[in-house]
Chain A
């Protein structure tokens, strides 16, 4: 699969006034994002997420290392025709109306009115702002500004979208709309590089994630693999004492939960054995659930471990 974003040893250090030692914002970052995936870029405040994004966009120059987007070096002017960016809490010229701001960004691509007029109408409908198209942005709420920000990222029909906290300030309904929009964009073949603190959103939409802390990459990989804890819980009722004893011999744990037993075990062979034992004693299987952590649990655990 083609690579949409690739960084090799990407590093950014800042030299602060009157301080001898440089401060490292991003250190030796190696990340690959495949085309057509939603990639979550996570980390606590000050982890270096925004600096990395700025380096990808050519807004900040790396101290060392390189980055490529859609096969072109970061900052390339032609590349910028095929990507788009939504900054965290975006601000736009508040004297402009929603339609005007989209027209302004469209004209930066050199688009003519014939292309822009229907495109703007379509985008305003997509983000649910068509009814407010003639209102100045000064009268927009925070959520509406976020929506117009998302609309401006779609003006050039980009192949790669870099979104920094796209759901900040949105109400639950708008939140859900934006999540659906991100999934729809992936279905259209676009790549989404999503930096967010909303871990539940990331968990719902992302295929792979990278976790960053203090400028260093802690972990990257498929979300499915990262969240799997490698055991399955079988819940069963009507078990006799003899069966429970047998289960305890090999299962990780056997606990009474409400009116049933929760049997936790590792591999597939154990599950088959448990099912056989439950059936032999004429018990009933209530559920078989592969156990996994939430992204929040994984994230908190990793960051705490590193910060110890």
Chain B
């Protein structure tokens, strides 16, 4: 119950952050303007609109996650609000989970708002073919689960580090997670190098699994065992985030405020 009170408060505060609405307005404007951009491209109009829209959802979603994630705990400490909250009958893990839940709810709302603009535009440009446009929601869902993991990474670091350090560390993990590490892992000649890539490969999730833009931009491209693909990746994201949250909770329990 307390977790939800804190989550609701985090959501309320986050939705009042001007920066998030600037991101949203900029993304929505870019999505709408993609109609004009498509005239300058040799590629099909719908390809440009879909590609730009999904790309923007991903980038703006990442920025929102970073802005929210890196400040989750540090700002509460800096403003001393954490002292009044934790002096009430609130367990530390309830506070932490409430903050995370609130941040992820904010992300979801922002992604859904941007997706609404995007899907509406695609539907309009495809002569109100709703069926094809709704497919794009799969992209939003996968972006959300990808960012759920990024948010958990930021949460863990927010327990230990300053927002600046957290920003660079989380961003670095996001970038590395989008690289294909299989090749260097398999073909490294030095044992130490091989160990390093293997450790990265297993410790950092493969974020590129959640980038299904190719399939959504080109409907003719099919994913083999599509349902299983989504289910496995969503389950992996939930599991990975849960493990990170447990780590964050354990670290937060031991920390002096």
Contact = CB atoms under 8 A, between A and B. Distances in A.
Interface stretch (B80-88, B125-133, B207-215): B80-88
Contacts of A156: 88
A92 interface: yes
A93 B13 contact: yes
A61 interface: yes
Interface string A146-169: 000100100010000010000000
Interface string A23-61: 000000000000000000000000000000010011111
A105 B91 contact: no
Contact of B12 (A84, A85, A95): A95
B3 to A, nearest CB: 11
A81 interface: yes
Interface string B1-29: 11001100100110010000000000000
A59 B255 CA distance: 8
Interface string A205-221: 00000000000000000
B105 to A, nearest CB: 16
Interface residues of A, number: 31
Contact of A80 (B9, B81, B83, B87): B87
Contacts of B12: 95
Contacts, number: 68
A162 B88 CA distance: 12
Given A57-B86, A80-B88, A93 B81 contact: yes
A306 interface: no
A83 B89 CA distance: 9
A54 B89 CA distance: 15
B86 A87 contact: no
Nearest to A136: B16
Contacts of B90: 80, 108
Interface string A85-107: 11101111101000000001101
B5 A59 contact: no
Given A77-B89, A77-B91, A95-B12, A54 B84 contact: no
Interface string B62-98: 0000000000000000011101111111110000000
A109 interface: yes
Nearest to B91: A77
A108 B256 contact: no
Interface residues of B, number: 23
Contact of B87 (A57, A91, A95): A57
B83 A87 contact: yes
B192 interface: no
A152 B1 CA distance: 20
Nearest to A152: B84
Contacts of B9: 93, 104
Contacts of A105: 84, 88
A26 to B, nearest CB: 12
Contacts of A172: none
A57 B84 CA distance: 10
B81 A92 contact: yes
A78 interface: yes
A110 B79 contact: no
A292 B199 CA distance: 72
Nearest to B12: A95
A138 to B, nearest CB: 10
B222 interface: no
A90 B84 contact: yes
Q: Which of B5, B12, B83, B90 has the most CB of A within 10 A?
A: B83
B91 to A, nearest CB: 6
Interface string B201-237: 0000000000000000000000000000000000000
Contact of B89 (A59, A104, A109): A109
Given A85-B87, A105-B84, A105-B88, A110 B256 contact: no
B186 interface: no
B16 A95 contact: yes
A90 B87 contact: no
A263 to B, nearest CB: 53
Interface string A188-199: 000000000000
A110 B5 CA distance: 9
Contacts of A83: 87
Nearest to A86: B84
Interface of B: 1-2, 5-6, 9, 12-13, 16, 79-81, 83-91, 254, 256-257
14 contacts: A57-B87, A59-B83, A59-B257, A60-B257, A81-B89, A85-B84, A91-B79, A93-B9, A93-B13, A104-B5, A104-B9, A108-B5, A108-B85, A108-B88
Shortest 3 CB-CB contacts between residues of A and residues of B:
A85-B87, A59-B257, A91-B79
Interface of A: 54, 57-61, 77-78, 80-81, 83-87, 89-93, 95, 104-105, 107-110, 149, 152, 156, 162
